[in-house]
Amino acid sequence: MRILQFGRTGQVATAVQASAQGRAEVMALSRADCDLQDPEAIRAAILAADCDLVLNTAAFTQVDPAEARPDEAFAVNAIAPGEMAKTCAERDLPFVHLSTDAVFDGLTDRPYVETDTARPINVYGRSKLAGEQAVLAHPRTAVLRISWVFSRYGRNYVSFMLHLAREREVLKVVADQFGSPTDGEALAAFLVATAPRWAAAPTGDPVFGLFHFANAGETSRFDFAKAAIDRDPLTRARVEPTTQAAFAEPAPRPPRSPLDTGKLQRAFGFMPEPWRTAVERTADQLVATGFQA
């Protein structure tokens, strides 16, 4: 199985490369290898690749900077994946793209399903929604919305909270924002394991389309952080709840954006692990091996 992957050093990109060892060949392109703001470079990379599937793990994920750099956010999150999907369609290659819970406004009393109306409230979310719309216009495309991704790789919420809890006496964490954490390593394993199925599936197969991928259950940012911090015997901070309003952030966040994964379970037979189990395991691994924030 040969996968052309846009993204090389990011959290999910790294996890995919690790998961693929002995199972698939991943040709991972960094931004130095392919400028995501150059559609012609993207097209050339796909046309030249000897691959069975194209996977996009690259994105402009900096939510607050996106408010000041909307052109860059849309170039990377919307125009680039649109060109990827278009070129894949020309070669009849399956294309798999990652999106986000940030396409929703967060005004819900239940987990979001794929048919719910997307109403992003920040530039990042709008750029990712535009990317979804661009890629889903082409056949043999799968979009997986993910949220609150964590893993052993790169900077993420779990490693960052562990770091802060060792550095500070008091750590205030938002308790009025709710969502579904996503184990980046489980996501990577799913992508690698499912790649042959996508590669073999014809246009119109139910493995293509829009899906939600996240761990089972939902939690607040506060409880998410506590689940990780409580695993570290070297924690020094007293962790206290606070509100989103207490942080002066340029980009508004959806207050409640848990993802329902029922469609994914029905299409692929994949059963997500409870979020707390995955977070505690990852925190244990980070504490045991050392971590950087």
Helix (H) or strand (E) holding 3: strand 2-6
* pLDDT, tens only, 16-25: 999 999 999 9
Whether pLDDT at 107 is above 80 = yes
Q: Note the pLDDT of residue 290.
A: 83
Residue 10's pLDDT band, with cuts at 50, 70 and 90, is very high
Q: Note the pLDDT of residue 293.
A: 61
Chain center to CA of 70: 19
Residue 216's pLDDT band, with cuts at 50, 70 and 90, is very high
Mean pLDDT, residues 197-225 taken together: 98
Interatomic CA distance for residues 280 and 121, integer angstroms: 31
Q: Residue 38: which residues within 8 A CB-CB, separation 6 or more?
A: none
Q: Which single residue is written with the structure tokens 């993802």?
A: 259
Residue 221's pLDDT band, with cuts at 50, 70 and 90, is very high
Mean pLDDT, residues 256-269 taken together: 98
Q: Residue 291: which residues within 8 A CB-CB, separation 6 or more?
A: 159, 162, 163
From residue 230, alpha-carbon distances to 109, 233, 237, 293 in Å are: 28, 8, 11, 17
Give domain limits for the chain. 2-156+181-216+258-273
**According to CATH, what is the number of the domain 2-156+181-216+258-273?**
3.40.50.720
* pLDDT, tens only, 41-75: 999 999 999 999 999 999 999 999 999 999 999 99
Catalytic residue among 112, 124, 153, 157: 124
Q: Note the pLDDT of residue 207.
A: 98
**Is 153 among the catalytic positions?**
no
Whether pLDDT at 9 is above 70 = yes
* pLDDT, tens only, 109-126: 999 999 999 999 999 999
